[in-house]
Structure 1
Amino acid sequence: MERVEADKLPKRTSTKVWNVQEFCRRQNLCQKEEWRLTRLFGRFATASELLHNAKRAPRWRY
């Protein structure tokens, strides 16, 4: 494991961190999926984690 000091990191390496509830609201995910993601990550997670782990129901055309 390598220890990295925060002041030595370049400023452009930041990642987008989302509130799970806000992400689910914007992506029109159901309450059950929001609960699952919250249990998985807690209240906050990176955008990549959320996008790769969100389960969406298929949208069938009638």
Structure 2
Amino acid sequence: MRHIDGRHLDQTQVKHVWEVAEYCRKAGIHQAEEKRLIKVLGRYASAHELQMNIVRPNNRARS
């Protein structure tokens, strides 16, 4: 593993990485879905990865 000095990074390529459990608590995601996301993505993931992998229930009733 290599140490990278953050002062020398290009700020346009920096991604915010979330702890999956923290993201789920803040977003109000059910605990079963949180466990599934941790299995799929691991403990840490970018916001984009989380948003693309969340399965939301369809609450609208079709008529």
Q: TM-score range by the shorter chain?
A: 0.7 to 0.9
Q: How does 1:22-33 map to 2 (within 5 A)?
A: 22-33=22-33
Aligned to 1:17: 17
Find the aligned partners of 1:36 and 1:23 in 2 and give their Cα distance. 13
* Unmatched 5+ stretches in structure 1: 1-5
Runs of at least 5 residues in structure 2 that lack an aligned partner in the other structure: none
Q: Tell me how far apart the structure 1 counterparts of residues 16 and 22 of structure 2 sit (CA, whole Å).
A: 13
**C-alpha distance in 2, partners of 1:47/1:27?**
11
Aligned-residue CA RMSD (Å): 1.8
Q: How does 1:1-62 map to 2 (within 5 A)?
A: 9-60=9-60
With the length of structure 2 as denominator, give the TM-score of the two structures.
Answer: 0.73
Q: Percent identity?
A: 38
TM-score by length of 1: 0.74
2-structure distance, mates of 1:49, 1:32: 18
